[in-house]
C-alpha cells in the first residue's frame, strides 16, 4: 500500500500545473486521514484573502481511491470524486474552482485522459482569473465572480454522465458546460455519432429542437429563441460535436450554453429529444430508450 501511494504521488506530481495548485496536490497526497484542510498562502499580490482547500480522503482523493480499488477485497466502483477545490476572494471578486476526477475504470487510458482534461480546464480557469486580478490598478475592484464545478447527471449500471460547468458574472453573466458520457460496462466514451447508424440524426434532431423552440415561445411569450428563418443569428442545426448527455430516464438531451441559441437572460437551455423520433436511427436501445 505504501509503495502504491508513493508511486501515485510521484505520478501526479509529474503533471505540470501552476505552483499554487501543485502545492495543493502535494498536500492532499501527503495528508493523513481526518486531518483538517490546509489554508494556503495568498497567491496574488493584490489579494486580500485567499483560501486553498483540499480534503484528503477516500471519498475525494483520486490517489487514495485508486489505491483502495487495487486491494482485492475492495469491490471496484466507477465514480466521480473531487480532486481539488480552490477558492479565492480578492478585490471584490471571487473564484471557486472544483476539479472532478473519475475513479475506478479499468481502462486507465480513458480514465487518465479524462482526468487530465479536467485538470487542464481548471488550470485554464485559474490562469484566467489570476490574470484578470493582476491587471487591476491599485484600489480598483474586479467585480468578477467565477464558479466552476461538476454535476453527476446520470449514474446507473450502464452509463455515467458528468457535466462540468462554469458560471461567470462580470458585466454580464454566462454559463458554459461540457459533458462526458461513459459506457461503464465497455468503458468507452460515447459520442453522438456512436449512438446512431448514420448522420441522418443531425437533421432529425435539429428539426425537433426547432419545433420545441417555436412551441415554447408560443406557449410562453417571455421565452425567446433565435430560430426565425430571417434572423442571421438563427439556430441552423447541430453538428456531431454538440453538447449532449443521456438522462436518468434514458433520454437524449441536447444542451446549449448561454447566448448559443437564445438571449443571455434565458441562460443555458436544454432540449429532451423524444425517443420515438430517434428510434429508427439508433444503433440500439441500451443507452437511449
Assigned C-alpha cell, 196: 446512431
Mean pLDDT of 192-219: 97
Query: Please, are residues 67 and 5 in contact by the beta-carbon 8 Å criterion?
Result: yes
Cα separations (Å) of 70 from 31, 92, 97, 122, 194?
A: 20, 45, 29, 27, 31
Instruction: Give yes or no for residue 19 having a pLDDT over 70.
Output: no
For Cα atoms 4, 7, 10, give the angle at the middle one, nearest 5 degrees: 150
Task: Kindly report, residue by residue over 179-204, the tens digit of the pLDDT.
Answer: 999 999 999 999 999 999 999 999 99
Instruction: Give yes or no for residue 53 having a pLDDT over 70.
Output: no
Instruction: Give yes or no for residue 222 having a pLDDT over 60.
Output: yes
The most confident of 34-38, 70-74, 247-251, by mean pLDDT:
247-251
What pLDDT score does 157 carry? 94
Least confident window among 129-133, 138-142, 281-285 = 138-142
What pLDDT score does 200 carry? 97
Using pLDDT thresholds of 50, 70 and 90, give the confidence band for residue 208: very high
Query: Please, are residues 277 and 185 in contact by the beta-carbon 8 Å criterion?
Result: no
Instruction: Give yes or no for residue 6 having a pLDDT over 60.
Output: no
Query: Residue 191: what are its φ and ψ, rounded to 5°?
Result: -120, 165
Q: Would you state the torsion angle of the CA atoms of residues 15, 163, 58, 85, taken in this order, to the nearest 10 degrees?
A: 60
Report d(CA 173, CA 267) in Å as an integer: 8
What pLDDT score does 170 carry? 84
Least confident window among 3-12, 69-78, 171-180, 242-251 = 3-12
Of residues 44 and 195, more confidence is placed in 195
Using pLDDT thresholds of 50, 70 and 90, give the confidence band for residue 132: confident
Of residues 119 and 15, more confidence is placed in 119
Assigned C-alpha cell, 29: 497526497
Computed over every residue of the chain, the mean pLDDT equals: 80
Task: Kindly report, residue by residue over 144-177, the tens digit of the pLDDT.
Answer: 899 999 999 999 999 999 999 999 988 788 999 9
Mean pLDDT of 214-233: 87
What pLDDT score does 41 carry? 34
Half-sphere exposure of 42 toward its Cβ, with a 13 Å CA cutoff? 11
Using pLDDT thresholds of 50, 70 and 90, give the confidence band for residue 258: very high
Report d(CA 45, CA 207) in Å as an integer: 52
Using pLDDT thresholds of 50, 70 and 90, give the confidence band for residue 12: very low
Amino acid at each position: 500500500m505504501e509503495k502504491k501511494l508513493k508511486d501515485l504521488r510521484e505520478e501526479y506530481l509529474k503533471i505540470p500545473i501552476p505552483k499554487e495548485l501543485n502545492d495543493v496536490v502535494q498536500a492532499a497526497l501527503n495528508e493523513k486521514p481526518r486531518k483538517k484542510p490546509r489554508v494556503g498562502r495568498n497567491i496574488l499580490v493584490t489579494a486580500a484573502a485567499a483560501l486553498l482547500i483540499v480534503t484528503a480522503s477516500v471519498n475525494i482523493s483520486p490517489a487514495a481511491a485508486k489505491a483502495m480499488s487495487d486491494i482485492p477485497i475492495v469491490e471496484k466502483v466507477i465514480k466521480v470524486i473531487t480532486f481539488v477545490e480552490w477558492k479565492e476572494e480578492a478585490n471584490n471578486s471571487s473564484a471557486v474552482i472544483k476539479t472532478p476526477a473519475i475513479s475506478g475504470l479499468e481502462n486507465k487510458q480513458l480514465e487518465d485522459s479524462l482526468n487530465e482534461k479536467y485538470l487542464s480546464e481548471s488550470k485554464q480557469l485559474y490562469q484566467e482569473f489570476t490574470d484578470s486580478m493582476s491587471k487591476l490598478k491599485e484600489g480598483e475592484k474586479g467585480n468578477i465572480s467565477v464558479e466552476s464545478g461538476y454535476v453527476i447527471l446520470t449514474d446507473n449500471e450502464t452509463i455515467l454522465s458528468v457535466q462540468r460547468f462554469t458560471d461567470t458574472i462580470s458585466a454580464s453573466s454566462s454559463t458554459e458546460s461540457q459533458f462526458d458520457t461513459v459506457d461503464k460496462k465497455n468503458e468507452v466514451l460515447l459520442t453522438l455519432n456512436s449512438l446512431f447508424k448514420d448522420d441522418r440524426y443531425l437533421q432529425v434532431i435539429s428539426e425537433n429542437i426547432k419545433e420545441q423552440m417555436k412551441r415554447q415561445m408560443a406557449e410562453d411569450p417571455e421565452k425567446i429563441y433565435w430560430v426565425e428563418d430571417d434572423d442571421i443569428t438563427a439556430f441552423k442545426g447541430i453538428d456531431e460535436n454538440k453538447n449532449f448527455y443521456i438522462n436518468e430516464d434514458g433520454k437524449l438531451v441536447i444542451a446549449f450554453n448561454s447566448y448559443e441559441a437564445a438571449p443571455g437572460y434565458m441562460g443555458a437551455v436544454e432540449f429532451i429529444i423524444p425517443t420515438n423520433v430517434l428510434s429508427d436511427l439508433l444503433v440500439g436501445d441500451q443507452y437511449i430508450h
